[in-house]
A = this chain, B = another copy of it.
Amino acid sequence: MNQIIDIGLLGLGTVGSGVVNIINSPKGRHPLVSSINIARIAVKDLNRPRSIKVDSSILTDDPFEIVNDSKIKLIVEAIGGIEPARSLILSAIKSGKSVVTANKAVIARYGKEISDAANAAGVYVLIEAAVGGGIPIIEPLKQSLGGNRINKVTGIINGTTNYILSQMTKEGANYNDVLKEAQSLGYAEANPSADVDGHDAADKIAILSGLAFGGPINRESIPTKGISNLQSIDINYAHQLGYEIKLLAIAQHLYENSTVNESIPLALRVEPTLVPNEHPLSVVNGVNNAILIEGEPIGEVMFYGPGAGAGPTASAVVADILNIAGISLTNETEKSLDPLLSACSWRNCYLANPRDMPQKSYIRLITRDTPGVIGSIGNIFGQSQVSIQSIVQFDLTNSEAEIIVITHKVIKGKISDSLAKIEELKEVIKIAAHFSCL
């Protein structure tokens, strides 16, 4: 293990600095860490004062210089954003270097292009830090669960929204107040859209889905609903009925334990979802993340931990660096890539019609407080073969009532059809909210 592996780091922000901190303090860590040498670092501004000590002679403001440096064996892309990150990754691959990246936006959109290029060039692109921060989820999905037929991946994979929802639940506070608090604590960006509108979670579930089901899906087609319109009254009612509301990202094979190797229908979505109190995801609070994987024969396994932050994300980046370093020590010229690690796609996956997805629903209706309204609603659901788990009426002022319906699991199309008819009932003032339930 005396061989030294020279790596090039692109970006010295939060993640990049975290990586330097680990690599440059190897004592007490796995001995392989001391085989890694950060040979060059690309930064935006050479003159910016930095909180961490780095030898200024290894800095450059031209990342392509590092990507094309023949001494460098491995590129760590920690710039973020689509460009120039994508071009840098592709250039590194073309010059025969393996790449480690935390860039979920690029991988969710250009993952196929990048993995095709990597396979052609015989290099690895590892992405442990792209989903779930420090939680080991990419490697377990690629290496440890390969014997399973994966049925479903359910994730709380955005720390910002989970923090906001946890605070709304705990303190009964409204969305805007908690968002402001999260921004002041640094848990939410000044422009919070990528998080609160669900786009970040959609990037991540696109990546997990590709690994779990063996084929990419079109990132832009994932139905995505954020939490910015979520009202605390629904959190409150859900709580009374034994549920927490979480922003879940779900990728699901439409047929359980399927033995199909060709083309399979998936249901993907990001949306606020009611999680029953006894479900392991219901206790995932604050900025933590968790990913639950269901498969045959494993059943359910869950991975839980810090979903963001310099330290955890750097831990995941270093895991990938070590992984590639470990492999590179085993042999000088590889015959071919390890098919588990290279993560090529092996099936065609397509998004199913949303109407065909099985779904349990929470529906909040505002109605006139007249006798028989529950009967009318129940009849319409019955006619559409939507089976009801519970209907609870909460009284409001002004002779209006709120009715919360929780259905059993039926295909979503039947629920939509029922709601269209219910909306036309003269007793019904409006359908105020509609969420999925686990």
Give A residues with C-beta under 8 Å from B: 1, 18, 21-22, 25, 27-33, 128, 134-136, 139-140, 143-149, 214, 257-261, 280, 283, 295-306, 309-312, 314-316, 318-319, 321-323, 326-327, 329-341, 346
Contacts and interface: CB of A to CB of B under 8 A. Distances in A.
B306 A299 contact: yes
B301 A301 contact: no
Name the residue among A18, A22, A147, A301 with the largest chain B CB count within 10 angstroms: A147
A299 B283 contact: no
Contacts of A32: 146, 339-340
A305 B299 contact: yes
Contact of A280 (B304, B323, B338): B304
Nearest to A302: B304
B148 A139 contact: no
- Please give me the 6 A-B residue pairs with the lowest Cβ-Cβ distance, nearest first: A297-B311, A147-B318, A301-B305, A136-B144, A30-B146, A27-B259
A231 B22 CA distance: 46
A375 B4 CA distance: 63
13 contacts: A1-B339, A28-B260, A31-B346, A136-B136, A143-B322, A299-B305, A301-B306, A303-B303, A303-B304, A326-B339, A326-B341, A331-B331, A331-B333
B139 A33 contact: no
Contacts of A309: 299
Contact of A316 (B27, B144, B311, B341): B144
Name the residue among A18, A315, A334 with the largest chain B CB count within 10 angstroms: A315
Given A25-B259, A136-B145, 17 more contacts: A27-B261, A28-B257, A32-B339, A33-B146, A134-B299, A136-B136, A139-B143, A143-B143, A143-B323, A297-B311, A298-B306, A301-B303, A322-B340, A323-B340, A330-B336, A331-B331, A331-B335
B30 A315 contact: no
